[in-house]
């Protein structure tokens, strides 16, 4: 008779839905992520399902497109969902190649005539998920774009800093479930818009039982951005500045998939952050590309610092967008006053969305700690309470911060030119006003 495994004390103290038995492999940058993704796709036998905000058909990202094409040609069902803002169009060549191979793809909420002027269009598909054959999953912040190319910054001399996880274990079923639901909802909306109501009903039945009223409501929620879905498809870097590390991982880890959407998971990811920071005893390390935390998250960080927890933030050091850059500075001032360390990533663009608390709580995903991610977008993070993985990610971030972070001090921030400080306040005000229009408090 087999003896059941002893309870995992970390899991027992964490969220009640944490499950054991996961393999977690940390992948840093596209140089690790793309080969792992291509290897999984080339071994696929039944289904490949990929969701991404940006799919740039150039450079190293082409290896992923080619792997999808190869898989479809050998009979694998290949589905792709791209966001209408992150990827507003697909090159004609790849439309034709995907159609000939049998790759099916859909654009999530393409922008209409008024673009982003309509607040409901701000609800984007920002998560980066992939599942192969229902057994191997990928979740993180890495878009399908070459590490040396950036939409805002252009060509990068040093690869972009970002992370993803390769996951095997029970939570892959949850990834399959959420991706299948979105896929069939998009199909149902398309059929309904074409007045093919019987086909739309069949798509709804495919995603949930007829009696599951909550899922049916979610499927037809026009505010989530699904109403405008468009359906398409066929029936090396300098060594001195390279912070990359080989893939490292753990087995038998306790983990869970956390989602954010505009229906049933509005604040799951933010609550997980708040709970972990609120329980922190020693240190909090956060690497986040777009960091404009709301009142609750700022309060949690400030309280942690006041009770003696060392709080370190690794944030974007490059100017990308007016609002994201300037609206963050008033928040920086408050955090620095409380003794929180802010390190700006210097060598290249930072796109990471990861965190570690006390080496025992860690998360890797697509969620920025800003209003777009926490209030409007569809996001996905993997959370784990495995101490081995927490230590692994902590050491990785510690090394990057020491080698490539430039510490920001309060005096330098406060004595910038007055024009810069005016722009900070202006950007912060525009952000607050924009959120007010959408009915959100942040």
* Residues involved in catalysis: 126, 128, 133, 351, 353, 358
Beta-carbon contacts of residue 105 (< 8 Å; ≥ 6 apart): 79, 80, 81, 82, 90, 98, 232, 233
Residue 19: φ, ψ to 5°: -125, 150
- How far is 375 from 99, CA to CA, in rounded Å? 35
Q: Which CA distances in Å does 37 have to 21, 41, 248, 400?
A: 21, 6, 15, 24
Residue 132: φ, ψ to 5°: -120, 120
Residue 56: φ, ψ to 5°: -100, 115
- How far is 309 from 295, CA to CA, in rounded Å? 19
Place of tokens 């080969």: 35
Output the six-digit token pair for 24: 């977690």
Map residue 16 onto helix, strand or coil: coil
Helix or strand holding residue 155 (H, E) = strand 154-155
User: What is the CB-side half-sphere exposure of residue 49 using CA atoms within 13 A?
Assistant: 23
Angle at which helices 295-306 and 329-337 pack, to 10 degrees? 20
By the 8 A CB rule, do 98 and 233 touch?
A: yes
Angle at which helices 197-207 and 171-193 pack, to 10 degrees? 170
Helices (H) and strands (E) in the chain, counts: 15, 18
Burial degree of 248 (CB within 10 A; 0-12, 13-18, 19+):
middle
Place of tokens 């009142």: 295
Supply the DSSP symbol for 336.
Answer: H
- How far is 227 from 208, CA to CA, in rounded Å? 19
Map residue 2 onto helix, strand or coil: coil
């Amino acid at each position: 008779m087999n003896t059941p495994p002893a309870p995992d004390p970390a899991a027992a103290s964490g969220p009640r839905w944490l499950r054991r038995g996961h393999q977690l492999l940390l992948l840093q940058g596209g140089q690790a992520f793309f080969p792992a993704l291509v290897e999984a796709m080339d071994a696929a036998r039944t289904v490949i399902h990929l969701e991404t905000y940006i799919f740039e058909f150039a450079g190293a990202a082409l290896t992923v497109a080619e792997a999808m094409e190869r898989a479809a040609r050998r009979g694998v069902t290949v589905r792709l969902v791209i966001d209408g803002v992150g990827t507003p169009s697909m090159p004609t060549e790849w439309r034709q190649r995907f159609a000939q191979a049998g790759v099916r793809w859909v654009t999530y909420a393409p922008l209409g005539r008024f673009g982003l002027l309509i607040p409901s269009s701000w609800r984007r598909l920002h998560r980066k998920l992939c599942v192969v054959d229902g057994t191997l999953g990928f979740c993180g912040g890495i878009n399908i774009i070459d590490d040396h190319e950036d939409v805002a910054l252009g060509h990068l001399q040093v690869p972009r800093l970002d992370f993803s996880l390769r996951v095997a274990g029970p939570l892959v079923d949850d990834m399959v479930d959420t991706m299948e639901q979105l896929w069939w909802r998009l199909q149902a909306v398309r059929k309904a818009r074409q007045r093919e109501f019987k086909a739309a009903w069949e798509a709804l039945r495919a995603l949930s039982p007829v009696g599951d009223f909550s899922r049916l409501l979610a499927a037809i929620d026009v505010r989530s951005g699904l109403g405008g879905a468009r359906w398409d498809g066929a029936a090396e870097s300098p060594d001195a500045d390279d912070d990359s590390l080989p893939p490292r991982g753990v087995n038998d880890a306790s983990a869970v998939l956390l989602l954010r959407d505009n229906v049933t998971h509005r604040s799951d990811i933010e609550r997980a952050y708040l709970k972990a920071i609120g329980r922190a005893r020693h240190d909090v390390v956060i690497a986040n590309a777009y960091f404009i935390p709301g009142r609750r998250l700022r309060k949690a960080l400030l309280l942690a610092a006041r009770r003696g927890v060392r709080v370190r933030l690794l944030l974007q050091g490059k100017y990308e967008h007016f609002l994201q850059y300037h609206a963050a500075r008033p928040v920086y001032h408050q955090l620095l006053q409380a003794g929180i360390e802010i390190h700006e990533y210097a060598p290249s663009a930072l796109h990471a969305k990861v965190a570690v608390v006390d080496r025992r709580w860690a998360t890797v995903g697509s969620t920025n700690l800003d209003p777009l991610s926490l209030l409007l977008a569809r996001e996905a993070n993997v959370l784990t309470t495995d101490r081995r993985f927490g230590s692994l990610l902590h050491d990785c971030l510690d090394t990057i911060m020491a080698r490539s972070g430039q510490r920001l001090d309060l005096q330098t921030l406060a004595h910038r030119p007055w024009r810069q400080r005016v722009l900070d306040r202006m950007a912060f005000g525009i952000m607050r006003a924009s959120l007010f229009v959408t009915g959100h408090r942040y």
